[in-house]
Amino acid sequence: MADTRYTVMTSPVGELLLTATDDGLTGVQFAPHLTTPDRRGQRDDAAFSDVVAQLEEYFAGRRTTFDLRLAPTGTPFQRSVWDAIANIPYGKTISYATVASRIRRPTAARAVGAATGRNPIVIIVPCHRVVGADGSLTGFGGGLDRKTLLLELEARASAAGR
């Protein structure tokens, strides 16, 4: 297994733990759900300069997509869900059932919810854009206050024409 590197960045939604291997970015986690210190690997702030810059641009409303090499660890099903979520357009939301249909598993909305909850690369793989069938904000590992903040940020930037 490749050596893991990490850094911690401050953001409008609290501290974020960024982790990566030589294969790419493996994690963006919210505090207090940060990986325990013994699993982080070696701190290497310089290795994350591009990730931090892109996240800062996102939070400033100047970036709507990310251009990063991702290397999440998960089951084939989880990865298919994360791939589908990664394609939700900036400023838009879709339901868990819609994600299930997009991965050709139309009866798997609950399993999609579970996989979404295990997304290791939040914000960049925008699980905050997945909502309940009725459009309600449901289930977000970072808390509904963070989900609301991220969706409002995207709505403001979209309204401003970015």
> Three-state SS across the chain?
CCCCEEEEEEECCEEEEEEEECCEEEEEEECCCCCCHHHHCEECHHHHHHHHHHHHHHHCCCCCCCCCCECCCCCHHHHHHHHHHHCCCCCCCEEHHHHHHHCCCCCCHHHHHHHHHCCCECCCCCHHHEECCCCCCCCCCCCHHHHHHHHHHHHHHHHCCC
Place of tokens 């909502």: 131
122, 73, 132: which is closest to 97 by C-alpha? 132
Predicted confidence (pLDDT) per residue in 124-148, tens digit: 999 999 998 888 888 777 778 888 9
Domain 76-159: top CATH class: mainly alpha
Q: Looking at residue 158, what is its pLDDT?
A: 78
pLDDT one-digit tens code per residue, 74-109: 999 999 999 999 999 999 999 999 999 999 999 999
pLDDT of residue 145: 87
pLDDT on residue 101: 96
Residue 31 confidence class, pLDDT cut points 50, 70, 90: confident
Residue 127 known to be catalytic: yes
Q: Which of 13, 16, 25, 127 is labelled catalytic? A: 127
Residue ranges per structural domain of the chain: 5-59, 76-159
- pLDDT class for 44, splitting at 50, 70, 90? very high
- pLDDT, residue 135, reads 80
